[in-house]
A and B are shown apart, each in its own frame.
Chain A
Amino acid sequence: MIPQIEIDKNKCATPYECKKCLQICPQAVFAVAPTKVERFKETAPEDYEVQAVFKDKCVLCMDCVKVCPTGAIKVKVGSS
């Protein structure tokens, strides 16, 4: 039974610069990466996306929900 973690992309605009959830999570559940990579170019901050990749590791401590400045993260007990 894996917890459900939803991130509202509209509220989470520049995750790589904010990085609060990524750094607070005791289980290192999140990952942030560019959605596109081009030659000779750095990816713009708004072209990054954060996802709860390792959600099977989540213990529902809710630290990420509390730390998120825009209220973009929702964590729920998963249904099996």
Chain B
Amino acid sequence: MPENQTPDTIAGPAESAALASELFADGVGAQAGPPTTPAEGTGGPAGAHSHGGPAPTGSPAERFTSTDPDDFPVVTGREEEWRFTPLKRVRTLLEGAASGARLEVETDLPAGVELTTVGADDPLLKGLPEPVDRLAALTRVNAGGATVVRIPAEAQLDRPVTLSMRGSGAADVVWGMTVIEVGAFAEATVVLDHSGRANYSGGVAVVVGDGARVELVSVQDWAPGAVHGGQYDAVVGRDATYTQVVVTLGGDLVRLVSNVDYTSTGGTADLSGVYFADETQHQEHRLWVDHSTPNCTSNVVYKGALQGEQAHTVWVGDVRIRPAATGTETYELNRNLVLTDGARADSVPNLEIETGEIVSAGHASATGRFDDEQLFYLCSRGIDAETARRLVVRGFFADVVQKIGVPALADRLMGSIEQRLGALPGLEEQEHPEGELQPA
């Protein structure tokens, strides 16, 4: 892929110790910009890559949280966490009007799994991580309680827990809150499968018990016109493994904020995402992994493809390693494949390291055009352009899609992506920027 690639890896304690001491020298303080804060006004046209500018912006080292919407100023669009979002298109959500509208939910619950609802005052909700922005706080209030999925300790489920959530097309905002409680040493896969049309703002919290292994798959296969905002929180217990796969394909606008906290040592969080933005779609994924305890691991891989005028994707990956988080191992990667002119992918990795005693920390971000040389290579073997394109895109997403622990779902999503590739121009009709290939 011809692209701007910036793999930054800070490997090994010695090197990062030096880096940390440089960054957090006297008079600099923990609030200083991390080595990888992006420059202001990052993003730009397709192929541009926001990275490593000297201006200290990006996310603040401390993030304000509250359950009260009024603790957050009314969103203007100038805030760091809203600056990429076309506010017009989320206005109905941000207005925050209460409503009784709901998604139609179909559930598939393996034996032993309990589905209940709790009221707004339930202690369960009080113990969850707090909302990080105004929309999430509005959601917590307006949802008026939560749907709770309980997976008992040491459970071994025979199939995934599935909540199919369908929008009926009503104009009223649907507010929702889903809590997934997983007991110690349980192993479970939970699928949230969103479809239909809705203005939906949904909070999701996954509480992963000690030693549990949980995969949450959230599919945004919305119909055109749907708007979806959401805050996903994972609280990862001691020696627990949390895997999250976010697949965003449909809807007019999707903006998901995924946060990870560790309650103790030895936790692992593996966050993956696949997104495909067509003409005019806005897909925004923000991640915040907060390493505050020793010996935890996080791995973030998000891959996106964009095609058509005004397709816009945003990926912001924040990883913070606090002073107590010794022995941390973290890596984050975002790659974007721009299939046609006129699409824009913003990619902003942020890594803040406050201790030198870590195993490794790194990130990479790359945005590239569809590689004509790959197409040419495949076509020169007799493979028609459409099949070649499918192979390349399938290959691009393969490693992330393989993480979905539900093969039928993985096939369905890959099929849906392939279907949308049909409208691309042929190899000969595309523009060929100079300098990509220089045969002697």
Whether A associates with B in a native complex is: no
Interface residues, chain A, with chain B CB atoms under 8 Å away: none
Interface residues, chain B, with chain A CB atoms under 8 Å away: none
